[in-house]
């Protein structure tokens, strides 16, 4: 069953509950800063495990001490859906465990 795209208002409302996340084109995005490269790498591995669990994979970029995500739903024509916010919420919990800002 396809996932329905969220309206602009729904996206804005949901983003207000996720500080640091923003809408960039047709995606929600967030960049985290971590204390070390090792911490950033560990966070990426943790996020990748959750993405596999949810079968929902974002663009995930590792920098020296940063992790950036860009999330949208391919099954909804590249639109933002509830699945994206489910992943973003899970990533927020992961970021807290890894001490990300």
**Mean pLDDT within 1-9:** 85
**28 contacts 84 by C-beta, under 8 angstroms:** yes
- pLDDT given at position 3: 84
- pLDDT given at position 94: 98
When the candidates are 3.40.640.10, 3.40.50.300, 3.30.1360.20, 1.10.1840.10, the CATH number that belongs to 8-97 is: 3.30.1360.20
pTM to 2 decimal places = 0.95
Q: What confidence tens digit (pLDDT) does each residue in 52-98 have?
A: 999 999 999 999 999 999 999 998 999 999 999 999 999 999 999 99
* pLDDT exceeds 50 at position 1: no
Q: What confidence tens digit (pLDDT) does each residue in 20-61 have?
A: 999 999 999 999 999 999 999 999 999 999 999 999 999 999
- The pLDDT-based confidence of 2 (bands split at 50, 70, 90) is low
CA distance 88 to 82: 10
């Amino acid at each position: 069953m396809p996932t329905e795209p969220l309206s602009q208002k729904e996206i804005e409302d949901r983003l207000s509950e996720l500080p640091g996340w923003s809408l960039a084109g047709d995606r929600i995005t967030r960049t985290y800063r971590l204390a070390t490269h090792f911490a950033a790498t560990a966070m990426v591995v943790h996020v990748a495990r959750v993405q596999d669990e949810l079968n929902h994979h974002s663009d995930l970029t590792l920098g020296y001490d940063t992790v950036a995500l860009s999330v949208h739903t391919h099954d909804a024509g590249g639109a933002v859906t509830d699945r994206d916010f489910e992943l973003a919420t899970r990533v927020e919990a992961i970021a807290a465990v890894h001490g990300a800002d």
